[in-house]
Amino acid sequence: MATASVAFKSREDHRKQIELEEARKAGLAPAEVDEDGKEINPHIPQYMSSAPWYLNAEKPSLKHQRKWKSDPNYTKSWYDRGAKVFQAEKYRKGACHNCGAMTHAAKSCVERPRKVGAKWTNIHIAPDEKIETIELDYDGKRDRWNGYDPSSYAHVVERYEARDAARRKHVKEQQLKKLEEKNGNQNAEDGVNDVDNDEDDLRVDEAKVDESKQMDFAKVEKRVRTTGGGSTGTVRNLRIREDTAKYLLNLDVNSAHYDPKTRSMREDPLPDADPNEKFYEGDNQYRNSGQALEFKHLNIHAWEAFDKGQDIHMQAAPSQAELLYKNHKVIKEKLKTRTKDTIMEKYGNAASEEEIPRELLLGQSERQVEYDRAGRIIKGQETVLPRSKYEEDVFINNHTTVWGSWWKDHQWGYKCCKQMIRNSYCTGAAGIKAAEAATDLMKANIDRKEATKEAPAPVEEKQLATWGTEVPEDLILDEKLLAEALRKEDERKREEKDERKRKYNVRWNDEVTAEDMEAYRMKKVHHDDPMKDFLH
């Protein structure tokens, strides 16, 4: 229990106070009252009896725990745009040199600069603007809509409403026009019953009814602050409520999957049923037909064009992607037509030509052909040899035979003139005789040259010792040549050791004599020789 905090002078005073409170609780003593004469509840904590020294308060309070500073006079309004306060008739000292207003200088004037300012003309003095000092609080400084006039958006709303009204009026006129035309056509025909006329009149009357009186049948409103979201109202393309729901068409567990969250069933719930008796074939039916299929092709074209280097993006620039897709279809159709015309021009069009005779069409004719048991033709039609796709029996340059009709010495030629040169002019029998005479003359010249050819004088061959040859036993070496060869071998080895002494223009002698070979063998170091270290 919370009691009042009171300062006592002694323990005796404290004890008396406690006894008084217990008596008041038991109803034996009168209750304590405040300054206004109201009874004080002992169960509720009261104000402190002694306030802090820095408040200079004459009586106890909790003022130091509250917001005791007064709030400044924050402004809730905004600047009064375009307001004027005073209209002067002549120029005043210190006013704007351009327009004559006292509330700004010539540097800050927003009016069009005059050719001669109001300071000098003293006419057309602009009124003074209303200057306001607005002190905003913390929230007011950060309010992005502070000072916004909602009525300024009214013209935008009016424009959209006028557009919707014109659209609805146009749709209504078109509907009335179609129904009236249909009614007129039916009345013109014979045998039209009165029931049909009454129904058409009823339709026209219903179309003439204002759309606002149709209980918003085609209007779709978004549901606000609901768990499921979605839309309220009715739409014309929804199924009739008496129809069986899609998830009840096939109760088999292994049938098409139904997603209750999106209310979608992609596959056909009754794939084996008669298509003429089904009103629902799955959501994929709508995805693969109509505008959904066209949109799918548009996306595929955008992806393929982007992969090939085109700067196109379906989500970033849908209008550009659709325009490029339309141009692509036009160009593709033109190319297809051009290819078709080229093929028809080259091979012809069998559909547009004259009709084939009935005899040929059915494979029948009046000609009689006899065959033997082997299937060969005995009498009647002659045997037709198969023809090649190339031109046959075409003779050029006065030839009577074709190229390749003659073969000699692994060469093809013409049989009529026995020439080996293709596309040559035919010389006939005279050319054959001339060619044979030239061949005989050439053979006679060759024989005469071989008969008169003298035998060459025998040349004494210099026997040179080659690398890897064995030394004959009867070899006699010249002492002077051997000494010269040894000297050359020493010089060669010195040049190999010091590459800097090798001359630039080196002349090599490929002839190796027996003395050179012997000098090489004498100077050669045998690595298997145990006395090789004692050689100098």
**pLDDT, mean of each 10-residue run, the chain (536 residues):** 49 73 66 56 50 59 64 78 90 94 93 94 93 87 87 91 94 91 74 53 53 47 48 51 83 89 89 84 82 89 91 90 93 94 85 68 72 82 68 84 87 88 87 88 88 66 51 76 87 71 65 84 76 68
Look at residue 312 and tell me if it is in a domain: yes
Residue 430 falls within a domain, yes or no?
Answer: yes
Q: State residue 347's pLDDT score.
A: 85
Q: Which of 147, 174, 209 is the last residue of a domain?
A: 147
Residue 510 within any structural domain of the chain: no
Co-location of 315 and 339 in the same domain: yes
Q: Which two tokens stand for residue 302?
A: 């955008």
Task: Pull the structure tokens for residue 517.
Answer: 């070979």
For residues 341 and 399, membership in a common domain is answered with no
Give the count of beta carbons closer than 10 Å to the beta carbon of residue 321: 21
Residue 322 covered by a domain: yes
Q: To which residue do tokens 């020493």 refer?
A: 490
Q: Are strands 370-371 and 377-379 parallel, antiparallel or unpaired?
A: antiparallel
Which among 63, 33, 39, 46 is positioned nearest to 2, based on CA atoms?
46
Number of Cβ within 10 Å of residue 16's Cβ equals 12
Domain of residue 142, residue span: 74-147
Q: Are 110 and 98 in contact (CB under 8 A)?
A: no
Upper half-sphere CA count for residue 399 (Cβ side, 13 Å): 24
Q: Which two tokens stand for residue 188?
A: 């013109």
Domain count, the chain: 5
Torsion sign, CA atoms 377, 382, 384, 385: positive
Residue 309 sits in the same domain as residue 264: no
DSSP 25: H
- Asked if residue 132 and residue 82 are part of one domain, the reply reads yes
- Asked whether residue 318 is domain-assigned, the answer is yes
Residue 375 lies in a domain: no
Q: Could you tell me if residue 41 is inside a domain? A: yes
* Per-residue pLDDT at 459: 57
Q: What is the pLDDT of residue 290?
A: 80
User: Under the phi-then-psi rule, with left for phi > 0, alpha for psi from -120 to 50, and beta for the rest, what region is 37?
Assistant: left
Residue 90 and residue 41 share a domain: no
**Beta bridge pairs of residue 407:** 412
Residue 356 lies in a domain: no
The interaxial angle of helices 318-347 and 291-307, nearest 10 deg, is 90
Pairing of strands 231-232, 221-222: antiparallel
* Same domain, residue pair 79 and 143: yes
Lookup: tokens for 341: 């015309």
Strands 84-86 and 128-129: antiparallel
Nearest alpha carbon to residue 284 among 300, 299, 272, 267: 267
What gap in Å lies between CA 402 and CA 406, rounded to an integer?
9
Please report the pLDDT score of residue 222 as a whole number.
Answer: 47
How far, in whole angstroms, is CA 389 from its chain's centroid? 49
